[in-house]
Structure 1
Amino acid sequence: MKLKASAAAIGLMACGVLSAQTIEVQLGEKAGTIELNVNDAACSLLEQMPLRLKFEDFGSAERIAYLPQKLKLGSSPTSCAPSEGDLTYYIPWGNLAVFVKGWRPSNDLVPLGKLSDQALEIIKSSSNRTIEIRAVRSK
């Protein structure tokens, strides 16, 4: 429980300043990073760290995972035109969506960040295995 509180504290500190926050995804020995955007929804995601999520295919363009709690949006943008490697949040269903290829501009889709090539490969190849996600450092 201390780990969760510490990660949340890191996230809250990062949200108090105008700086990017890096999170890490890990599957087995493989790890990659995601650079979060500076917005209220990304801060809300940090408050839920660490996470253990299973991603599933949704259509041909994205892999999705459901969060334990919906994100608080605040003043976050609520539409975007996602490209490959984008991390987003779909408002109506309360799920994360990682785009494995580009997609059309969409309403109710909050941009959260950008995956590194390594993180994108982990998400793509995860099948139904659990991925660990945690805050690692502020920039």
Structure 2
Amino acid sequence: MRKVLTLLLALVMAFTLSACGGKDESSSNRNDNATNNRTTIQAGTTDETNDPVGQPSASPTVDHDGSTDVRIKLIFDNEEYIVKMYDNPTSQDFLSRLPLTLTFKEYSGFEKLSILDKGLTAEDAPSGSDPEVGDIGYYAPWKDVNMYYTDWNYSSGLIKLGRIESGPEEFTKKIKSMNDDFTVNIQKMN
């Protein structure tokens, strides 16, 4: 019996240790030259009428990919795009601030970004992420919300907030083609 318990304990420990493994963070970081060229953008809000708690009333269901059943909509250039949000404290902090109107601008040929006046929480956040086309993220070091239209390298400090769910190809083409600064209205969906 003791051998069985020892074997069971060893299996549990092996599983736990393998689950703690992660991606090599020393791979590539955000483009250093791009870091030096970043300009500050002020993000304004137009409506601060959040509910008292600022959170969805029911607990969201979490899917296997870490996304929830919580969705937001991005409205700009007479188009509406749906984003399926991820389940993390940074996304929840972002949701608590909605509705927002943010001004986005081009950044370095892979994303559009808007710097927030007040940063989001990075509590329990991963040390970084690999953004992909259609990801909506938050880059904690610069307090910016970003929309990716090109896959990019691992970025230390990047936290994924959600992913475009409706029309990802159209969304990608649209934001890539937006050469000038543009305003995005961001709202929770019921």
Into which bin does the TM-score normalised by the smaller protein fall?
0.7 to 0.9
Higher relative contact order (CA 8 A, sep 6+): 1
Deviates more, 1:31-40 or 1:75-84: 75-84
Structure-2 residue corresponding to 1:13? 57
2:57 match: secondary structure: helix
CA deviations over 1:1-25 (Å, ceiling 9, x no partner): 987223963x3435x4444110001
CA change 1:102–1:28 in 2 (3 A) is closer
- TM-score normalised over the length of structure 1: 0.83
Gaps of 5+ in 1: none
Partner of 1:39: 88
Cα distance in 2 for partners of 1:104, 1:111 equals 14
| 2-structure distance, mates of 1:3, 1:119 | 27
Residue 188 of structure 2 is matched in structure 1 by 135
Query: Conserved in 1, the CA contact under 8 Å of 2:82 and 2:164?
Result: yes
Question: Where does 1:117-128 land on structure 2 (aligned, <5 Å)?
Answer: 117=168, 118-126=170-178, 127-128=180-181
Q: Could you say which residue in structure 1 is the equivalent of 2:135?
A: 86
Change (3 A) 1:91 1:131: same
**Secondary structure in 2 matching 1:43:** helix
Deviation at 1:54? 1.0
Q: Which has the higher strand share?
A: 1
CA deviation after TM superposition for structure 1 residue 29, in Å: 3.0
AA matched with 1:94: K
Q: Which has the larger radius of gyration?
A: 2
Root-mean-square deviation (CA, aligned residues, Å) is 2.4
User: Per the alignment, do residues 3 and 93 of structure 1 end up closer, same or farther by CA in structure 2, a change over 3 Å counting?
Assistant: closer
* Match 1:26 to one of 58, 75, 80: 75
Q: How does 1:45-64 map to 2 (within 5 A)?
A: 45-64=94-113
How far did residue 106 of structure 1 move? 1.5
The yes-or-no answer on 1:65 pairing with 2:114 is yes
Consecutive aligned runs of 4 or more in structure 1 exceeding 6 Å deviation: none
Compute the displacement of 1:78 (Å). Answer: 3.0
